[in-house]
Chain A
Amino acid sequence: MSEDLQFTFALVLNGVSIGLMYSLIALGFVLVYKATDAINFAQGEFVMLSGLIVAVVLTVAGAPLIVAVVVVLAAMIGFSFGLERVVLRPLLGRPVVAVIMATIGLAAILRGLGPVVFGSETRAVSLPIGDEPIVLGPASLPPIQVVGAVAAVLLFIAFHWFFKKSRMGVAMRAVADNQQVAQAMGINVERYFALAWAMAGIVSAMGGIVWGSMLGVDVHLALVGLKVFPVVILGGLDSIGGALVGGLIIGVVESLAAGYLDPYVGGGTKDFAPYVLMILVLMVRPYGIFGKRKIERV
């Protein structure tokens, strides 16, 4: 393999693993949007909150990893249930802009009070996986990226099974498809709204562990949430498979852009390229690759 090709291969491999980690977070957004039509602008802050909880349980309380995982899952599920009940339910039936602003407000609360409650220093989440890079052909990956990618794939398989086979998953798809008909069929729609938020909480908890361990946990962890929008717009807002594919594309695009363009513009293309791609998608195909074409033309 030539030098150039090896470089490209390394970039693509890195992009794929990062992209899968993006899909992991985007999944939380898609689950909520699909089931409840609510837009969660605080997805990144959810991840930050989970990261903070894990880091505090691990470092301050000195508990083993398994305890931290259980605690963060419980905390995030409880948090999401409460959130749905207190904030989102009163806003049902209000204009979509109201929900957007409410979640922006929520993001501000979490970002503001998170460091006040948990302390503002950067904490590490150390997973028992070592630092030795995993070598794949001519490229190598940090182990945390491999763990994150594998976790993402496993979660996607789990959710795929859940929606296709389990009774609850089928009911949830019915709610997503048409709330009134679902209600007429005897499905408790509000309960499934809460469930959707709880699932977003679970996904964010996983995201918090993986991303927190990769970047370190402080308030800046919430910035990964900004990557959610290009991913979900590209894949389609209400498509779980779309989150996976969108994440992969965004991951690869940003990795290639960073590898090839950064030397010319002085860095930062990573945060820029996904949004340019997203604007193009919005112009050409706003419902994304797999999204339903229900977007209203004006």
Chain B
Amino acid sequence: MFHRESGVFKTTYAADMALYPLPIAKWTVAALAVIFVVIVPLTVHEYYLSILNLIFIAIVGALGLNILVGYTGQISLGHGAFMSVGAYTAANLAVKLDLPFWLTLPAGGLMAAAIGVVVGMPSLRIKGLYLAIATLAGQLIIEWTINRVPAISGGAQASIQVDRPSLFGFSFNTQGTLYFFLLFFAVLAIIGTLNLVRSRIGRAFVAVRDQDIAAEIIGIDIYRYKLMAFAISSFYAGVCGVLYTYYFGIANYEQFQLIVSIDYLAMIIIGGLGSVLGSILGAVFVTLLPIVIRILMENVGSLFFTTAEMANVISGLRLGVFGGLIIFFLIVEPEGLNRLWRNIRSYFRVWPFSY
């Protein structure tokens, strides 16, 4: 990732698809592992660990949405709802049946995948605008159902309290221990996506995105792959919802409203559509942005606004800046932060010569 190549010398497709483009890349990954597993948890303050934890959860969700939107070219405005499906499935299983997280987590993911396939069904007949509206309908209908059916939502306030996850009697109940819990799943999601997109399935997704009719002619069953994209993507979303539930200790539908779907779309547009690194960068960026805005406003904003207005102003600004960034990146750099990173790298590839 951070190594500097002197040029592109790949002669086979296998080399082009390898996870480690050069032997040195293994050292980069090892170094990153040491930093995140040993150095960060030992040195970083608990408050910053909690931010990292939120980033890890967001990475899982952003990767999932990017598989659908970035790689397969299908749009979804319903990912917030898929997360809530995962969250409430896991919360109900954990509370009513007393199941451990390593059962509720995949169960939440699978339930979300099943619902995602149902909501994705219209993609077999329609696309683009119509699909966006159909998934929007999915989001609103799921939100409404969860809110109205006490058997799912646990009645009062439509929220369910959940104990923190535990393994072999060890409970992940502080930011420091949750860090390892969430890091594990974020890394799992990253490795899973990296391998998915270079497999036959991932390349079929890209073919469906780039030219669906041509994809069908070369023998890709586009119905199957579109539904598979919806299933995998909403599985990630469901897992993301479960992680939110365990992280906050509560499943609440207000965490998964339409605005969340838009947050995640913002992540992958800002980070870069159709790229794993882009999903990660987008998740980091979008998670940090409100924190930066809050710090800025607390220091500068008090000159313009009273304290009572501040909460509204901050949430409004956050939304406005998101919207502005989405439009900015769509117009100026459709491939997002990932493209900027690649530009920097290819500049240094031949440095100090210009080409």
Contacts and interface: CB of A to CB of B under 8 A. Distances in A.
Given A96-B128, A265-B148, A286-B126, A102 B133 contact: no
A53 to B, nearest CB: 17
B262 A104 contact: yes
A100 B129 contact: yes
Interface in A264-281: 265-266, 268, 271-272, 275-276, 278-279
A279 B129 CA distance: 14
Nearest to B312: A120
B75 to A, nearest CB: 5
A116 B326 CA distance: 19
Contact of B140 (A115, A233, A275): A275
Contacts of B1: none
A97 B322 contact: no
A120 B309 contact: yes
The size bracket of the interface on B is 35 or more
Contacts of B222: 298
A266 B69 CA distance: 36
Contacts of A286: 125-126, 130
A237 to B, nearest CB: 8
A272 B149 CA distance: 14
B316 A271 contact: no
Contact of A100 (B75, B125, B322, B331): B75
A91 B130 contact: no
B327 A112 contact: no
Given A113-B317, A298-B124, A108 B262 contact: yes
A298 B129 CA distance: 14
B326 A102 contact: yes
B140 A97 contact: no
Interface in A242-298: 265-266, 268, 271-272, 275-276, 278-279, 282-283, 286, 295-298
A55 interface: no
Residue of B124, B130, B147 most packed against chain A (CB within 10 A): B130
Given A87-B327, A104-B326, A39 B265 contact: no
Contacts of A138: none
B134 interface: yes
B326 A108 contact: yes
- Interface hub of A39, A105, A266, A272 (most chain B Cβ within 10 A): A105
Nearest to B318: A112
Contacts of B136: 226, 229
Contacts of A229: 133, 136-137
Contact of B319 (A87, A112, A226): A112
Contact of A101 (B137, B269, B324): B269
A10 interface: no
A109 B320 contact: yes
A41 B133 CA distance: 10
Interface string A186-211: 00000000000000000000000000
A27 interface: no
Contacts of B326: 101-102, 104-105, 108
A68 interface: no
A220 to B, nearest CB: 13
Contacts of B254: none
A97 B320 contact: no
Contact of A109 (B73, B137, B147, B323): B323
Contacts of B212: 298
A108 B325 CA distance: 10
A106 B320 contact: no
Contacts of A226: 136, 140
Contacts of A120: 309, 312, 316
B330 A98 contact: yes
Contacts of A94: 330, 334
Contacts of B21: none
Contact of B331 (A90, A95, A295): A90
A107 interface: yes
B26 interface: no
Contacts of B137: 229-230, 275, 278-279, 282
Contact of B323 (A90, A107, A237, A279): A107
A297 B141 CA distance: 25
Given A97-B73, A116-B312, A298 B144 contact: no
Contacts of B319: 108-109, 111-113
Contacts of B321: 112
B135 to A, nearest CB: 11
Interface string B292-335: 00000000000000000100110111111111111100110010
A278 B133 contact: yes
B122 to A, nearest CB: 6
B260 interface: no
Contacts of B124: 298
A91 B136 CA distance: 23
Interface in A205-239: 226, 229-230, 233, 237
Interface of B: 69, 73, 75, 77, 122, 124-130, 132-134, 136-137, 140-141, 144, 147-148, 212, 222, 262, 265-266, 269, 309, 312-313, 315-327, 330-331, 334
15 contacts: A39-B129, A39-B132, A91-B330, A100-B75, A100-B128, A101-B265, A104-B265, A105-B323, A111-B319, A114-B316, A116-B313, A116-B320, A120-B312, A233-B130, A279-B141
Interface of A: 39, 41, 87, 90-91, 94-98, 100-102, 104-116, 120, 226, 229-230, 233, 237, 265-266, 268, 271-272, 275-276, 278-279, 282-283, 286, 295-298
Q: Which 6 A-B pairs have the closest CB atoms?
A: A112-B319, A108-B323, A105-B326, A112-B320, A109-B323, A113-B320
Given A97-B75, A105-B266, A226-B136, 17 more contacts: A94-B330, A94-B334, A100-B128, A102-B330, A104-B326, A108-B319, A108-B322, A109-B323, A112-B315, A112-B320, A120-B309, A226-B140, A278-B137, A279-B141, A282-B134, A298-B124, A298-B222
